[in-house]
C-alpha cells in the first residue's frame, strides 16, 4: 500500500472516529420529562415511557446512555445492581387532578370523585405517578373512588390523553403535564398535606458506549440551561449546595 493510500485511510478512520465521538446520547426518561428534555437538547435520542418500563429495559441490556426516573426507587435499584453511576436528584414535582376544560361532570375538588358514575382514569400502580396517586387517595380516605376507574394507563401521557379526549371525567397527573396541556385541560389542586414527595433522579448508565455524550447531557440538564427550562415547565429545582 502506498504512503498516500495509507494516509487517506487514516484520515477516513479519524473522521469516522470523530463521528462516533460526536454521536448524541441515548436518553431513557420518564414520560413527564418529554417537553422539558426535548427543549434542553434537540439532538439527543430519547425514549420516553413509564420509569418502571425503562428500568426493566436497562436491566435487560437496552442501549441507554442516561436514565432519568420519576421515582428514586428505580434509579437506586439499578445503582445497587451496578448498572448505573451514582444517581443525583434532578427535580421535584407534585400531582394535580385534571378534568376536560368543559368539565362535563362538574368536578370542583378531589372529593367530587366519590360521586357514582364518575369516569376516572389513573396510571397503573407500577408507574410512579400511579403509585403516588394511590398514596394520595389513601391519605385522603378516598380509596373508595377506585371503583370509578375505567382505565389504567402505562404512563402519565396516557392519562392526559384520555381526559383531554373526553374519554374520562378526571385523572391524576403531574402538575407539569397539566401545564403542558393547559389548552385542553383544567387542573384542580390537591391538599398539600396529602402530597407525597415526588423526586426525580438522573444517572449515567455504566454500560454506555457513549460515556462522553452521556456525561455532557447530564451536565447540560443540571446546568443553567437545563435548570432554566425545567423551572419554566413547572418543575421545582433542588437547592444548590453551598460551597464551603
* Structural domain includes residue 48: yes
* Structural domain includes residue 243: no
Whether 78 and 13 share a structural domain: yes
Task: With a cut of 70, list the residues of the chain below it in pLDDT.
Answer: 1-22, 241-244
Whether 84 and 114 share a structural domain: no
Distance of CA 167 to the CA centre of its chain: 23
Whether 181 and 221 share a structural domain: no
Supply the pLDDT for residue 241: 63
150, 143 in Cβ contact below 8 A? no
Whether 9 and 85 share a structural domain: yes
Whether 9 and 88 share a structural domain: yes
Q: Which residue has the cell 434509579?
A: 75
Q: Which three cell numbers stand for residue 96?
A: 394535580
Whether 116 and 183 share a structural domain: yes
Rounded CA-CA distance 229/243 in Å is: 24
Which residue range(s) make up the domain with 228? 3-92+199-232
**pLDDT tens-place string over residues 2-51:** 444 434 443 444 444 444 446 999 999 999 999 999 999 999 999 999 99
Handedness of CA 147, 149, 154, 157 (dihedral sign): negative
* Structural domain includes residue 242: no
* Structural domain includes residue 71: yes
Count how many domains the chain has: 2
Whether 15 and 133 share a structural domain: no
Whether 56 and 175 share a structural domain: no
* Structural domain includes residue 156: yes
Supply the pLDDT for residue 239: 85
* CATH number of 215's domain: 3.40.190.10
Rounded CA-CA distance 143/134 in Å is: 7
Whether 101 and 140 share a structural domain: yes
Amino acid at each position: 500500500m502506498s504512503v498516500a493510500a495509507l494516509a487517506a485511510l487514516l484520515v477516513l478512520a479519524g473522521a469516522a472516529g470523530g463521528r462516533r465521538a460526536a454521536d448524541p446520547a441515548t436518553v431513557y426518561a420518564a414520560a413527564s420529562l418529554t417537553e422539558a428534555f426535548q427543549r434542553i437538547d434537540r439532538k439527543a435520542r430519547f425514549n420516553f415511557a413509564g420509569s418502571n418500563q425503562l428500568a426493566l429495559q436497562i436491566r435487560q441490556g437496552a442501549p441507554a446512555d442516561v436514565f432519568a426516573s420519576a421515582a428514586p426507587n428505580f434509579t437506586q435499584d439499578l445503582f445497587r445492581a451496578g448498572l448505573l453511576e451514582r444517581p443525583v436528584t434532578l427535580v421535584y414535582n407534585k400531582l394535580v387532578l385534571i378534568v376536560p376544560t368543559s368539565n362535563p361532570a362538574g368536578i370542583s375538588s378531589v372529593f367530587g370523585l366519590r360521586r357514582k358514575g364518575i369516569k376516572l382514569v389513573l396510571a397503573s400502580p407500577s408507574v410512579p405517578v400511579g403509585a403516588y396517586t394511590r398514596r394520595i387517595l389513601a391519605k385522603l380516605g378516598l380509596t373508595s373512588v377506585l371503583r370509578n376507574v375505567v382505565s389504567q394507563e402505562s404512563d402519565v401521557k396516557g392519562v392526559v390523553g384520555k381526559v383531554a379526549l373526553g374519554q374520562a371525567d378526571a385523572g391524576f397527573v403531574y402538575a407539569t403535564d397539566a401545564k403542558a396541556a393547559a389548552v385542553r385541560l383544567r387542573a384542580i389542586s390537591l391538599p398539600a398535606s396529602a402530597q407525597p414527595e415526588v423526586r426525580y433522579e438522573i444517572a449515567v448508565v455504566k454500560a454506555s458506549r457513549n460515556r462522553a455524550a452521556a456525561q455532557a447531557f447530564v451536565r447540560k440538564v443540571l446546568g443553567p440551561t437545563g435548570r432554566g427550562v425545567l423551572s419554566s415547565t413547572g418543575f421545582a429545582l433542588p437547592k444548590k449546595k453551598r460551597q464551603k
